[in-house]
């Protein structure tokens, strides 16, 4: 597959946003490899734009308004990241993603790269951090200018017995929940927390009954979505710093 095929497939899927066809370089990667890879990603981005513009004009295209987001790469080399951000910003795309993070570097390195790169992306366009992350990662990235996210954590970790709550992450396979009749999180408004106890969910997981995983995924997706609502509200009310501090303090309280 190349950039043209990628655009054709995404055009057929008719998603709101098509993501550029890029290379996500491995971590760690040598500087020379990284520079060559980023240059190729830039060449591919131009081909993506040409092809998507063509597709959006075709009579039988389902979503003729399909947007194209470019993807910033450069690993942990800040100068390569910044240079690439400048080049793709000039292409005037609908939005921009930061890719190639959360691939093995430390959280501190990831936050640093976001901090260095975001100022070189257009302020009026959405910024999307790909494949991130924990509730803590999201709070830190929002502070550095990221608008949206995607991540497998709420679903994959849910299937592995984990629930995200305002008091941190809990693992329902833990024996201490065997007779615990309380909901996962009493502050949560999701259907799982309204109807099922920790003990019952644990029982379902132990019995390898699929419903246990589904209830946890439902709760986790609700938790993440609700947190994003809270974040938007806190930003609108100019109290994001205070909100973030409280939320982070909550995550490290040991859940009861």
Binding site for Zn ion (CB under 5 A): 188, 190, 192-193, 219
Which among 25, 72, 67 has a CA at the least distance from the CA of 48?
Answer: 67
Closest to Zn ion by CB, 190 vs 204, is: 190
CB of 218 to Zn ion, least distance (A): 8
Partners of 150 in beta bridges? 132
CB of 223 to Zn ion, least distance (A): 6
Closest to Zn ion by CB, 100 vs 158, is: 158
CB of 161 to Zn ion, least distance (A): 15
Q: Is the CB of residue 172 less than 8 Å from the CB of residue 198?
A: yes
CB of 250 to Zn ion, least distance (A): 15
Q: Is the CB of residue 129 less than 8 Å from the CB of residue 143?
A: no
Angstrom distance (rounded) from CA 28 to CA 160: 28
Look up residue 132 and give its DSSP letter: B
Q: Is the CB of residue 173 less than 8 Å from the CB of residue 206?
A: yes
Closest to Zn ion by CB, 87 vs 173, is: 173
Closest to Zn ion by CB, 114 vs 184, is: 184
Closest to Zn ion by CB, 140 vs 185, is: 185
Strand order in the sheet with 17-19: 17-19, 67-72, 95-98, 127-129, 148-149
Which among 136, 133, 168 has a CA at the least distance from the CA of 148?
Answer: 133
CB of 158 to Zn ion, least distance (A): 11
């Amino acid at each position: 597959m190349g950039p043209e095929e990628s655009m054709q497939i995404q055009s057929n899927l008719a998603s709101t946003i098509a993501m550029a066809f890029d290379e996500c370089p491995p971590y760690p990667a040598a500087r020379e490899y990284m520079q060559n890879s980023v240059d190729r990603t830039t060449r591919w981005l131009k081909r993506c734009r040409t092809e998507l513009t063509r597709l959006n004009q075709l009579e039988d295209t389902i979503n003729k308004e399909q947007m194209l987001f470019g993807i910033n790469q450069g690993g942990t080399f800040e100068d390569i990241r910044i240079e690439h951000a400048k080049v793709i910003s000039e292409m005037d795309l609908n939005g921009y993603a930061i890719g190639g993070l959360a691939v093995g570097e430390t959280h501190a390195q990831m936050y640093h790269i976001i901090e260095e790169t975001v100022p070189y992306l257009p302020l009026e366009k959405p910024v999307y951090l790909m494949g991130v992350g924990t509730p803590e990662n999201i709070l830190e990235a929002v502070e550095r200018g990221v608008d949206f996210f995607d991540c497998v954590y709420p679903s994959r970790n849910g299937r592995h017995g984990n629930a995200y709550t305002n008091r941190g992450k809990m693992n329902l396979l833990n024996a201490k929940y065997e007779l615990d009749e309380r909901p996962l999180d009493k502050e949560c408004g999701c259907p799982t927390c309204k109807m099922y106890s920790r003990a019952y969910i644990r029982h379902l997981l132990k019995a390898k009954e699929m419903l246990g995983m589904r209830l946890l995924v439902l709760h986790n997706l609700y938790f993440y979505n609700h947190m994003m609502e809270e974040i938007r509200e806190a930003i609108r009310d100019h109290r994001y710093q205070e909100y973030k501090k409280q939320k982070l303090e909550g995550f490290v309280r040991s859940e009861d």
